[in-house]
Homo-oligomer: A and B are copies of this chain.
């Protein structure tokens, strides 16, 4: 099955937003064994969308259109498909239900403009969209398949996975599969990872591709085979070799996050956590609480920007602050201890550092960060010197704190 994807939106042509749907769709189609040969971006223009659909159906079996299903006059994908195939637009009960239900749940009246979201080209079926007003559109017509999906990623992504791919499977899409597995690494930089894995980087099937993100390196292992089982078997020995070399630097795989794997250990061991943050400003607590169910182990956090707050709320001794300054290993340790005590938690984390751009001195440059970890009274501090902008330094600090916490939990037979 050969696919072509069309994305609509003048804001993408003007470079005002990046088309992340394209990459997401590419990954999902590849995993389903569907060959995506072309992506096209056109503006919110009926004639150009229609032309793109007409060109695509000459080359491909499956034509996917992302965007242009909204209620405004700039949203023209349903009209363009109807025009390209010479089909009338007719009201569909399920599509109508999708849009009316959205406003009913919010107890708001439906603006009249939204009514057009109930219209589908004759013969099409609605794809349910629980996250927005626009149902997707699925149409089989003259041996081609057309799928129109809403543009916002939080609606587009679940519709690809939950609605479109299951439907395509029934059309026999899965003949050759591409299977990918991602290993996630923290505590080690990209060049160090590549050095260790140098001889493994040039394989053909499976392939191994490293990708660096702030505070994290991911390794993508990809195999092609006749079915998912065979592909997994191709990947297994490569994964084993990587795990042997990188050991505890690999904190997870695929959709794992550091906050998620850490939370799983905390929940499993019935340990509780509290965090004290200075330079990360709440980011660590935010990430910990992004995990559903984190209220089972996360007792709370404090963001103590001022010295007064560190003294009053965390019990950091004034003498320590005076002798070593707020950005020091001593204060990181005292913050970890203090927040553990304040919340009566098993584990406390304290972060103090200079996120910049201001606040640095020759002895304490932007990026200098100390992370304290108090696991049931055993306290350790790590010093880091991160490079980057303010938000990047915040991110790397929170990432490293989570990694130290995860490694500390793994290596210690507490509880």
Counted per complex, copies of this chain come to 2
State which residues 65-88 of A face B: CB under 8 Å: 71-74
Contacts of A388 in B (CB 8 A): 131, 154
State which residues 39-95 of A face B: CB under 8 Å: 39-43, 48, 52, 55, 71-74
Q: A18-B18, A37-B48, A38-B42 are in contact. Are A387 and B305 (CB under 8 A)?
A: no
Contacts of A295 in B (CB 8 A): 305-306, 359
When C-beta atoms are compared, the residue in chain B nearest to A52 turns out to be B38
| A274 to B48 alpha-carbon distance, docked (Å) | 52
| Interchain CB contact under 8 A, A281 and B292 | no
Q: Tell me how far the C-beta of A391 lies from the nearest C-beta in chain B, rounded to whole angstroms.
A: 6
| A287 to B265 alpha-carbon distance, docked (Å) | 28
When C-beta atoms are compared, the residue in chain B nearest to A102 turns out to be B387
| A85 to B14 alpha-carbon distance, docked (Å) | 29
User: Among B24, B305, B313, which residue has its beta carbon within 8 angstroms of that of A342?
Assistant: B313
Q: How many of chain A's residues have a CB under 8 angstroms from any CB in B?
A: 105
| A299 to B313 alpha-carbon distance, docked (Å) | 12
| Interchain CB contact under 8 A, A154 and B392 | yes
Contacts of A25 in B (CB 8 A): 15
Q: Is A349 an interface residue (CB 8 A)?
A: no
When C-beta atoms are compared, the residue in chain B nearest to A23 turns out to be B15
State which residues 137-155 of A face B: CB under 8 Å: 152, 154
When C-beta atoms are compared, the residue in chain B nearest to A55 turns out to be B55
| Interchain CB contact under 8 A, B38 and A41 | yes
| Interchain CB contact under 8 A, B194 and A152 | no
| Interchain CB contact under 8 A, B28 and A22 | no
User: Among B280, B301, B355, which residue has its beta carbon within 8 angstroms of that of A302?
Assistant: B301
Interface centre among A10, A290, A300 (most CB of B within 10 A): A300
Q: Which of A119-127, A161-169, A208-216, A374-382 contacts B (4 or more CB under 8 A)?
A: A208-216
Contacts of A292 in B (CB 8 A): 356-358, 390
User: Among B71, B308, B344, B390, which residue has its beta carbon within 8 angstroms of that of A290?
Assistant: B390
Interface centre among A24, A55, A74, A284 (most CB of B within 10 A): A74
Contacts of A308 in B (CB 8 A): 299, 344
Interface string of A185-201 (1 = CB under 8 A from B): 00001011011000001
| Interchain CB contact under 8 A, A27 and B40 | no
Q: Is A13 an interface residue (CB 8 A)?
A: yes
When C-beta atoms are compared, the residue in chain B nearest to A105 turns out to be B387
User: Among B286, B358, B385, which residue has its beta carbon within 8 angstroms of that of A282?
Assistant: B286
What are 18 residue pairs bridging A and B, where the CB atoms are less than 8 Å apart in the complex?
Answer: A11-B211, A13-B39, A17-B211, A18-B20, A37-B42, A38-B48, A108-B189, A131-B388, A281-B290, A281-B298, A282-B286, A283-B286, A290-B390, A292-B357, A293-B358, A302-B302, A308-B344, A312-B342
Q: A285-B285, A290-B390 are in contact. List 9 more A-B contacts (CB 8 A).
A: A11-B211, A14-B30, A15-B26, A17-B23, A37-B48, A38-B41, A40-B40, A111-B194, A289-B305
> Nearest 8 A-B pairs (CB), nearest first?
A281-B289, A282-B285, A15-B26, A15-B27, A282-B282, A301-B303, A282-B286, A15-B23
